[in-house]
Amino acid sequence: MRGQVKVAAKILATLVALNAVVPAFGQSSPSADAKLENNLTTAMAWKQTAAEYRALYHQGFNLARLRVELALAQKQDGTLPLAIISDVDETLLLANDYWGYLIEQEQDFFDDAIWDRWVAENRAVASPGALEFLEFCVANGVEIFYVTNRDQGDSTVQLALDNLNAVGFPSVDRAHLRVLRETSNKEQVQQQIREDHEVVVLLGDNLNDFARRYYSTDLEQRLSLMEEDRERYGRDYILFPNPTDGHWIRAIFGDSEPPPSDANRSILKQAATRSAWTP
């Protein structure tokens, strides 16, 4: 499981299934939706084939490199060493064949048990441009911190190290890997790193990778918090695309990993038709 608080997630999932948490998307009966298709199909067709999807990773890492180059040029003697902080999954490592498998299994939401089995298989691949960017950082004396929210029990740290090593990333060791098993709140770790480093950029596929204040189930609040920080995107925050999972899902369901039920498929369809022309 990715580091969710499992009991709380189960309670939330039950409430969501009862349409008790998301009135904005839970008003109509699931039976009203005669045709509910697999939610992941379009997102994964895009991830698996679109040059545009891969180009967005290059765009993100090119921007991150520009920020690092600027910080290196402005660095003065005696100041704190430079560092970057990056999320792991769907930022540096891609799990496309995990998601492809889910579709083949007729699953259409993130599945913890399958994820735990998949992580142990070491099948993740580096995202486009990730290796080159990380190697550039190391070659220029910029430290890399991998900060991930994962939970595969006692094996969590070793599995994460194995996944990162399997694709040849640099600085993969316990000093540079921070694993959060019990919470997805990354701010404490970020603060610890900032005590003795100047952090140039944060990289992630989820706004929560940057700041905890985005951890809201209120859609409008999440959108407006992001807009308040618009100047930080492409500067302090380098964001990568993820249409399959993340806290944007949580803002719809109240749960990042909703169970695969017709009720939840209906809620997602209502989110997709939140704005819809009525001729």
Binding residues vs Mg ion (CB under 5 A): 87, 89-90, 205
SS3 content of the chain, % helix, strand, coil (to 5): 50, 10, 40
- Shortest distance, CB of residue 66 to Mg ion, whole angstroms? 22
For residues 106 and 36, is the Cβ–Cβ distance under 8 A?
A: no
Compute the least distance from the CB of residue 139 to Mg ion, in Å: 25
Distance CA 200, CA 65 (A): 10
When the beta carbons of 25 and 57 are compared against Mg ion, the nearer one is 57
Give dist(CA 108, CA 80) in Å, integer. 45
As measured in angstroms, the least distance from the Cβ of 16 to Mg ion is: 22
Q: In whole angstroms, what is the distance from residue 205 CA to residue 243 CA?
A: 10
Beta carbons of 177 and 157 less than 8 angstroms apart: yes
Instruction: Please report the DSSP string for 38-76 in residue order.
Output: -TTHHHHHHHHH-HHHHHHHHHHHHHHHHHHHHHHHH--
Q: Is the CB of residue 146 less than 8 Å from the CB of residue 137? A: no
Nearest distance, CB of residue 94 and Mg ion, angstroms? 10
Q: Min. distance of Cβ 78 from Mg ion in angstroms?
A: 35
Task: Confirm if 247 and 207 have CB atoms less than 8 A apart.
Answer: yes
Instruction: Give 90 or 111: the residue with its C-beta nearer to Mg ion.
Output: 90
State which residue, 19 or 257, has the beta carbon closest to Mg ion.
257
Nearer to Mg ion (CB atom), residue 17 or residue 119: 119
Q: Which is nearer to Mg ion, 19 or 256 (CB)?
A: 256
CB-wise, 148 or 270, nearer to Mg ion?
Answer: 148
Residue 160 C-beta: closest distance to Mg ion, Å: 12
Using DSSP's 3-state secondary structure scheme, residue 82 falls into strand
